[in-house]
Homo-oligomer: A and B are copies of this chain.
Amino acid sequence: MRAIDVCLSPDLMHLYPVQDKTVVVVDILRATSCMTTAFAHGIKSITPFAKLEDCMAMKEQQYVTAGERDGKKVEGFDLGNSPFEYMDEKLKGAKIAFTTTNGTQAIAKSEGAKEIIIGSFLNLSAVTDYLARGDNNVLVVCAGWKGKVNLEDTIFAGAVVEMLKDQIHSDCDAPLAAQHLYTLAMDDLEGFLKNSSHVMRLAKLNIHKDIRFCLTPDQYNVVPMLKNGALEL
């Protein structure tokens, strides 16, 4: 039987070999939710950059620049980190250069994996259907917050473990912990997360609408995948 594991922080990635795995990168608030939304609205590709300067430099190549630092849009960038910005008709077919505090760093640390895909509640069933059909072992990589574990990414990881439990085995404690937390939270994700540090941090930025949307399962049937350094469908 295949195995599923969960890396609760990018700073623990040295413990998880990825060569034989499909890695699901998750940064619910809000990088991977934005990416999912973008592809569901016809964006052609998203190239993730760990460094701000590298991302900015892509403007010269007609890329749309996007992302945030510490939850706020970057000065001079075309787009920020709200999923609603990625629903714009004008972006259809665009190539986006993307950098965020945590999400794009988690993608960078997953380099070398057999496959890297993008997960969020918005494409939860699309992701778990894709994983169920595959042959690889699975690692869910939680982007966290500056290395620290966060609840929303952990709960998403738990949702993946829970939905695949009949097909993919978990034999470590991190997936078990995530699964327990998901079953506690599943009936009211927003209520469960209202005391979490990241949700409170973002709530101060007045993005309640973003938070609610990012916690809504199964809005889009897309599975963005990294191919030659860029995310595509």
Contact = CB atoms under 8 A, between A and B. Distances in A.
Contacts of A184: 180, 184
A42 interface: no
A187 interface: no
Interface stretch (A56-64, A108-116, A148-156, A209-217): A148-156
B174 A15 contact: no
Contacts of A203: none
* Copies of this subunit: 2
Interface in A107-162: 145-151, 154
Interface stretch (A17-25, A43-51, A81-89, A192-200): A192-200
A164 interface: no
Nearest to A192: B180
B180 A195 contact: no
A209 B49 CA distance: 52
A9 interface: yes
A53 interface: no
A172 B195 contact: no
A181 B177 contact: yes
B195 A174 contact: no
A58 to B, nearest CB: 30
Nearest to A201: B171
B8 A15 contact: no
Interface in A1-57: 8-9, 11-12, 14-15
A173 interface: yes
B177 A148 contact: no
B11 A12 contact: yes
Contact of A15 (B14, B147, B176): B147
A196 B197 CA distance: 27
Contact of A11 (B15, B148, B173, B200): B15
Contacts of A11: 11-12, 14-15
A176 B148 contact: no
6 contacts: A11-B12, A149-B174, A150-B173, A151-B177, A171-B197, A177-B181
Interface of A: 8-9, 11-12, 14-15, 145-151, 154, 171-174, 176-177, 180-181, 184, 195-198, 200
